[in-house]
Structure 1
């Protein structure tokens, strides 16, 4: 990025603080209506994010961050992602994520058996988050 070509500034924050800050050539997020790729000079956008990975490409490198919901605001080559929670690929504890996945699957079974729709909904979100963390960690 030393060749003075336009770059993106990307920041991911959670209620616990800043999780990620970097410059990149290309940003990929999953919005409520589908995937969105952002290059420098993209039009401004505000979007709700799904539980999925965020990818930041810079040169030949790529960072992956597990983002668990939130929203993104992009303007003037700056993307700010405000997420419920987020973890960089290198910081994901796969064993903990696997345990969370197993707990969520068991809770889903119990909630379906007892027709507990509130517990079922919470467990399904927990399952999506655990699977997202596992997928990001295994790339």
Structure 2
């Protein structure tokens, strides 16, 4: 028994296929989905979604959105997403280090639009880097 999984971004269909297990980065923590899961709708945080196909795992970097589970079908609607296998690990590491540097410059300062953007860029760079592993 498996799940039918669709990961959709505004500009592309990132993944369509089946999976035996899906782990989502919900806003309340990691959430595992197996066949027979109860119907639900959840908000997703920026992070890495993992899916198991047979005995292998795949990673997809998600940039926030929503997931719906209904009758062994999982639909993930996100602002942006990228398959971990399509991400250049060296470039992702460099982008993470740059984003970390920028975010560190705002430590101790009150919230500002620039600080919020820097923290969002850091979360996205971290998700892309983690998806390469």
1:19 equivalent to 2:14? Answer yes
TM-score normalised according to structure 2 size: 0.89
* Residue number in structure 1 paired with 2:88: 93
1:53 equivalent to 2:43? Answer no
* Bigger-Rg structure (1/2): 1
> Is the alpha carbon distance of 1:38 and 1:113 closer, same or farther for their aligned partners in structure 2, counting shifts above 3 Å?
closer
Deviation at 1:101, TM superposition (A): 2.1
Q: Which runs of 4+ in 1 moved over 6 A?
A: none
Distance in structure 2 (CA, Å) of the matches to 1:8 and 1:120: 39
- Residues 74 and 80, structure 1, Cα contact 8 Å, conserved in 2: yes
1:43 equivalent to 2:38? Answer yes
* Residue number in structure 2 paired with 1:132: 127
TM-score normalised according to structure 1 size: 0.86
Q: How does 1:50-129 map to 2 (within 5 A)?
A: 50-112=45-107, 117-129=112-124
Aligned length: 133
Distance in structure 1 (CA, Å) of the matches to 2:103 and 2:35: 42
